Amino acid sequence: MDHTQDHARRRTLATLLLLLAGLSGWLGGPRPAAAGDFVDGVPQPREITDDPRENFLYGSIGAEGEAGLPYWIVPILPRLFPEYLPGPGGYASLGLPWEEGKEFPAGFSKKTVIIPRVGFNCSLCHSTQYRTAPDAKPVVVAAGGSNTADIQGLLDFFSKAANDPRFNAKTILTEIDGSYPLKWTDRLLYRFVLIPLTRKRLRQQGDEFAWTASRPRWGPGRDAPMNLTKFNFLQMPDDGTVDHTDFPAIWHLADREQPGRTYEHSQPIASHTMLMNLDGATTSFRSVIIDSALGLGARNTPFFRRRVPELLDWLREVRPPAYPFPIDTEKAERGAGVFEAHCATCHAPGRDNRLGTVIPIEEIGTDRERLDAWQHRGAAQKANEKVASMGITRTPMIETGGYIAVQLDGIWLRAPYLHNGSVPTLRDLLEPAERRPRVFCRGYDVLDPVGVGFIADARIDPRCAEPGPPATPSPWDRRLPDGRRDEWPQPRVWKYYVAERGNGNGGHEIGTRLPAEEKDALIEYLKTL
């Protein structure tokens, strides 16, 4: 090669490295909304965007540009760092619902924004997985609460991997080469920009979530929504509060809308308001979508402004699946009368009742830690100001004095119960607090047709019924009762202790004094909702 050719190649490489440096600045910092559709990237395939369910489970909410991970890093991390996962199965070992034939679990969205990236969407926390028997195929239900998903475990996995010295360009590129030989330009981009930048951002993310280490573990199906807002989104100082909360079902939101009603709270709210979050702190579902998407990294772009009303329209109408086991219709009819007498005041839709309103904590009596984490902290006003500074208009967040009465459609698929998931089954919820389980397991996805909920006791692991050290991950024996191996990846189960902060199972004593036959009839009726 002569001197001229060598000089040209050096000049080309220098130009490429300058381009990579520019991309590093673009990938590593916030992008202005004025960038418009360039920030929004290439539309996803129509088999995702044309199907509302697929779009909810795998579609973008606009978070890839700000918070997305470079595509090729995501699938190889579990292969490189299996020791930081609770067991085999990659991301599925964290209980993330993963449908057959899909490249990633529900909640992962793949989209090209300058480069192919993987972001996260609403279904990471709102997709229920259930099975009718241990050897049955899992069913994933969009817009339910993610009963098996260990989101804190996912954050920990990314943080531990990024702090491992093997998280470097040589190791990661070698692993990528085993799946797909990158073009030389992509190799340079990954080597000099994407891998170092991803490691830096994941380590920074671990630092930002360090406050979780001083609290009990979230466990499957929960997070800390108000503290995430305070400490991560608003950068408020750690105040020591605990607000562990189950991921709620968000299907058929039309049932929660109460046109013409005026709500009385710490500040006036429009009469058409729909109170959301389990304490009613967010005053419309549109605001919930906006705030949740911002927390996942979305920004105020044209795509984001289109996507929010699409999600809202679909979630207003999508309904939960029917109960998958036989129902005793005669008993259910008797149960309808019991429901009318004892439950309809707070939970029957389409009436001028207490559905969707805040029940004062002194009346409902459930664990108040999650409520206290938001009350009198000034976070509501700070959140309103920050969102407004981003050029986004939404109804305000507020402070309330209790928890809202929610609609009960699909209640058979919304276990465990109460706002913190402290009661495993409906039958347990109809018992006085002192007779409810003090220790049980969460994260198992096989339905309990007797108790109505998910199996949470010694039928899955003897340790689920034994006292022991709190908040310890508890993988369980995957052998079925007849000795066969289960062909489906198993979510791990988590031992839940009601004695821990935020985990109290008291309160909601409605129906606990009913005769046994009326409780049976009521439970049979609830299966029909």
* pLDDT number for residue 394: 83
pLDDT confidence of 12, banded at 50, 70, 90?
Answer: very low
* pLDDT number for residue 19: 45
Say if residue 336's pLDDT is above 60: yes
Average pLDDT over residues 369-376: 91
Say if residue 84's pLDDT is above 90: yes
Which residue is associated with the tokens 């793949």?
110
- Residue 504 within any structural domain of the chain: no
- Whether residue 243 contacts residue 373, with contact meaning beta carbons closer than 8 Å, is answered with yes
Asked whether the CA dihedral 447, 450, 455, 460 is positive or negative, the reply is negative
Average pLDDT over residues 59-78: 91
Q: What is the pLDDT of residues 243-271, one digit of tens each?
A: 999 999 999 887 776 554 443 333 334 44
Name the token pair of 130. Answer: 């259930």
Q: What is the pLDDT of residues 278-324, one digit of tens each?
A: 888 888 788 878 877 777 777 888 888 888 889 989 998 999 999 99
Angle at 352 between CA 351 and CA 355, to 5 degrees: 75
pTM of the model: 0.87
- Residue 7 within any structural domain of the chain: yes
* pLDDT number for residue 283: 80
- Output phi, psi for 29, to 5 deg: -135, 170
Say if residue 50's pLDDT is above 60: yes
- Residue 436 within any structural domain of the chain: no
Say if residue 79's pLDDT is above 70: yes
Say if residue 370's pLDDT is above 50: yes
Q: What is the SS3 assignment for 454-490?
A: ECCCCCCCHHHHCCCCCCCEECCCCECCCCCECCCCC
pLDDT confidence of 468, banded at 50, 70, 90?
Answer: low
**Comparing C-alpha atoms, which of 448, 422, 416, 368 is closest to residue 248?**
416
Q: What is the pLDDT of residues 18-49, one digit of tens each?
A: 444 444 433 444 343 334 445 667 899 999 99
> How many distinct structural domains can be found in the chain?
1
Let me know how long the chain is: 529
Which residue is associated with the tokens 């040209």?
8
- Residue 150 within any structural domain of the chain: yes
- Whether residue 524 contacts residue 332, with contact meaning beta carbons closer than 8 Å, is answered with yes
* pLDDT number for residue 3: 52
Q: What is the pLDDT of residues 106-134, one digit of tens each?
A: 999 999 988 999 999 999 999 999 999 99
Share of the chain above pLDDT 70, in %: 84
How many other C-beta atoms lie within 10 A of the C-beta of residue 231?
21
- Residue 373 within any structural domain of the chain: no
3-state secondary structure of 417: strand
Q: What is the pLDDT of residues 166-183, one digit of tens each?
A: 999 999 999 999 888 899
pLDDT confidence of 474, banded at 50, 70, 90?
Answer: very low
Say if residue 17's pLDDT is above 60: no
User: Counting beta carbons within 10 angstroms of the beta carbon of residue 234, is it exposed (0 to 12), middle (13 to 18) or buried (19 or more)?
Assistant: middle
3-state secondary structure of 180: coil
- Residue 47 within any structural domain of the chain: yes
- Residue 107 within any structural domain of the chain: yes
* Cα-based distances in Å from 104 to 61, 68, 74, 119, 173: 16, 14, 9, 11, 20
> 156-165, 230-239, 461-470: lowest mean pLDDT where?
461-470
Structural domain that includes position 48: 3-218
Residue 423 bridge partners (DSSP): 417
Average pLDDT over residues 86-112: 93
* pLDDT number for residue 39: 60
* Cα-based distances in Å from 469 to 92, 211, 466: 25, 21, 10
Average pLDDT over residues 197-218: 93
